[in-house]
Amino acid sequence: MFEKVEAAPKDAILGLTEAFKADPRAEKINLSVGVYQDENGKTPLLECVKEAERRLAAAPTTKSYLPISGLADYCRAVAELAFGAEAEPLSRKRVAWAQTPGGTGALRVAADFIHANFPQATVWMSEPTWPNHPQIFAAAGVPTKSYAYFDAKTNALNLEGMLADVGKMQAGDVILLHGCCHNPTGIDPTPEQWKKIANAVYARGVLPLLDFAYQGFADGIEEDTAGLKAFVRPGAEMLVCSSFSKNFSLYRERVGALFAVAPSAEAAESVQSQINKVVRSNYSNPPGHGAEVVATILGDESLRKQWEGEVATMRNRINGMRSELVKALKDHGVPGDYSFIQRQRGMFSFSGLTKPQVERLRDEYAIYVVGSGRINVAGLTSCNIDRVAECIGKVL
Ligand SMILES: Cc1ncc(COP(=O)(O)O)c(C=O)c1O
């Protein structure tokens, strides 16, 4: 049977990393990956994580299974982080939740939940979006469509086009939104625009699903919840998929969460049972370590302060590199206005580089960027930024 199995196409982004590793050129620079890197090009292990791990190792309890929905202390702590400790949906107990293996796990549980409970629903995604989004929903058998999001001419949000597409959605469809730090464009709605989007989405009877993978990487841990909070209204429903891969730098520990905000506590109980059913047949129950680390940090005042500081360091470095890149492009006489790079948020910048330009960057200058022209700004350092700007100038 296996001889008849055809090879699957390589993952567009992970395939590039393999090519980068195999590239013998010493001057090579990887701006294609989706992980944060510090000034030395390393993905750090946060000090607060090290301390939480020390504490957990010093007082081990058990390695028995977690409940299907995960560690309750963790779920509550991360729900408060996303919605706010005093949020009405939490105090009215109308939020069902699950600790999931990363944000991807949360998205897949959400997709299976949608497929099982709303078989007529189409999930609408921004054009462009994270390439794994369509794959996850397709794997769950959920139909997908695209809505307008990015205006390449102005390097800004195409709000008009987006709202027009919301008008084409059917009641009972789902709209997938990036909570902040839109991947790949780096363009987020302003708080005012978020309100308009939420009004249109709810007026249409569409269910919002917020993918929240970069909380704290745009303007601040609290500030970055503005989009999510625009959808928190009395009785209103929504799904949120959180990831703590980036903001706790816990990538391989697979730490995420799914929240389903139901209209009532009663409805939340039924939704919880359906989420549990999906989890049970997928991976039964989630892994413990990463969630224990996050719960330890968020539950301890001093560790939490330390974490907030470490997130600020990552955020400030990324935003600093944005300004540096704009300056370096100017210094190298690259024609055009690149100030939009400074307005974008999160790890990624949609540079506007075309596919042939991306190929030249890789083939001639050993600089790796994904085909869409998405640059990982966190891959820039004071050592490589000049060369990057110079080579961008050459391929333009
Ligand atoms: C937009 C978006 N959503 C979700 C994820 C999932 O993150 P993870 O599964 O690693 O927690 C990522 C990671 O790159 C992402 O960029």
Q: Is 247 in the pocket of ligand 1 (CB under 6 A)?
A: no
Q: Is 104 in the pocket of ligand 1 (CB under 6 A)?
A: yes
Q: Name which of 248, 105, 130 is nearest 182 in CA terms.
A: 130
pLDDT 10s digits, 74-103: 999 999 999 999 999 999 999 999 999 999
pLDDT at 129: 95
89 Cα to the center of ligand 1, angstroms: 25
User: 189 and 351 in contact (C-beta within 8 Å)?
Assistant: no
Tell me, yes or no, if 355 is annotated catalytic: no
pLDDT 10s digits, 168-178: 999 999 999 99
- Burial, 334: exposed, middle or buried (Cβ in 10 Å; 0-12, 13-18, 19+)? middle
User: pLDDT grade, residue 371 (50/70/90)?
Assistant: confident
pLDDT at 326: 95
279 Cα to the center of ligand 1, angstroms: 19
pLDDT at 13: 78
pLDDT at 233: 96
User: pLDDT grade, residue 12 (50/70/90)?
Assistant: confident
Q: Which of 17, 107, 132 to mutate to test ligand 1, by most ligand atoms within 8 A of the CB atom?
A: 132
Nearest CA to ligand 1 atom 3: 213
Q: Is 184 in the pocket of ligand 1 (CB under 6 A)?
A: no
Q: Is 351 in the pocket of ligand 1 (CB under 6 A)?
A: no
Q: Is residue 274 pLDDT above 80, yes or no?
A: yes
Q: Is 189 in the pocket of ligand 1 (CB under 6 A)?
A: no
Tell me, yes or no, if 224 is annotated catalytic: no
CA of 105, closest atom in ligand 1:
9
User: pLDDT grade, residue 390 (50/70/90)?
Assistant: very high
Q: Integer distance in angstroms from the first to the last C-alpha of the chain?
A: 49
User: In the chain, pLDDT over 90 holds for what percent of residues?
Assistant: 91
pLDDT at 11: 78
pLDDT at 171: 98
User: pLDDT grade, residue 15 (50/70/90)?
Assistant: confident
104 Cα to the center of ligand 1, angstroms: 6
pLDDT 10s digits, 294-333: 999 999 999 999 999 999 999 999 999 999 999 999 999 9
Which domains are assigned to the chain? 2-44+315-395 (3.90.1150.10), 65-299 (3.40.640.10)
pLDDT 10s digits, 332-364: 999 888 999 999 999 999 888 899 999 999 999
Tokens of 328: 């370096």
pLDDT at 66: 97
- Min mean pLDDT across 95-104, 249-258, 368-377 is at 368-377
Catalytic residue among 130, 165, 194, 307: 130
One-letter-per-residue 3-state SS of the chain: CHHHCCCCCCCHHHHHHHHHHHCCCCCCEECCCCCCCCCCCCCCCCHHHHHHHHHHHHCCCCCCCCCCCCCHHHHHHHHHHHHCCCCHHHHCCCEEEEEECHHHHHHHHHHHHHHHHCCCCCEEEEECCCCHHHHHHHHCCCCEEEEECEECCCCEECHHHHHHHHCCCCCCCEEEEECCCCCCCCCCCCHHHHHHHHHHHHHCCCEEEEEECCCCCCCCCCHHHHHHHHCCCCCCCEEEEEECCCCCCCHHHCCEEEEEECCCHHHHHHHHHHHHHHHHHHCCCCCCHHHHHHHHHHCCHHHHHHHHHHHHHHHHHHHHHHHHHHHHHHHCCCCCCCCHHHHCCCCEEECCCCHHHHHHHHHHHCEECCCCCEEEHHHCCCCCHHHHHHHHHHHC
Tell me, yes or no, if 28 is annotated catalytic: no
Range 362-373 average pLDDT: 93
111 Cα to the center of ligand 1, angstroms: 15
Range 182-209 average pLDDT: 97
